[in-house]
Amino acid sequence: MALGAIPGVAVLALDHEAAPPIDNEIFVLILQHPHEKREPLATAPAIVATLRHAKLVTGLSWPNLARPLGHDTDPRRWAVLYLGSARPRTFADRRELLLLGRDGQPVADAEPVLRNLDGIVLLDGTWSQAKTLWWRNPWLLKLHRLVLNPPRPARFGRLRREPRREALSTLEAAASALRYLEAGPQAADALVAALGQMIAAASPASAQPADA
């Protein structure tokens, strides 16, 4: 779910000139709802600017995973991050990233699947827009399903309101997932740094003009 619009705050241009994109191991494919593209402040563009292996595609439906990705791939080696009606806080399993089975419950031995993923799919939009993307693309059901169970609320705090504690911005969700899935912290750390830039730039203090 992407960061919603904040009145009076322009689109943020993150400073990525200081360092090249991170060479992440797990490909990140972002399916963006068309309405989200018009939001003054969204986090998905920061992901593709930060990671070398990431792609942002806008639309409502695609016939299969290969179409938005741009090449053939094995869907059995992909996962989609989608919260839906799942309530991670009610699960006995307290891990931050959970693999759900067909019954909607956490898979006890998730490591064989998680350690062999080629990529993850993120749905970018409001709560209802993400739900629309989910239902209009039934091929997503062929992918493994992941949900986040964050130990803390979204870092955006007062800058936005999430419908549920487990709901995070697309950028923060990508960082949380990659921190668990990748061998090293470089990709997750870079995304968290980009998130920090956005929070700082969108804070009320930064929106005020400097004194003459």
The total of structural domains in the chain comes to: 1
Spatial separation of the C-alpha atoms in residues 142 and 157, rounded to whole Å: 34
- Residue 159 · residue 172 · CB < 8 Å: no
Q: Is residue 181 part of a domain?
A: yes
150 in a structural domain: yes
Length of the chain: 212
Question: Residue 2 falls within a domain, yes or no?
Answer: no
Residue 8 counted as domain residue: no
Closest CA to 22 of 197, 188, 199: 188
Q: What is the pLDDT of residues 172-191, one digit of tens each?
A: 999 999 999 999 999 999 99
Report if residue 183 sits inside a domain. yes
Residue 4 lies in a domain: no
pLDDT tens for 48-80 read: 999 999 999 999 999 999 999 999 999 999 999
Domain contains 19:
no
Strand-pair category, 78-81 with 144-148: parallel
Within a domain: 43? yes
**Domain interval for residue 63:** 27-202
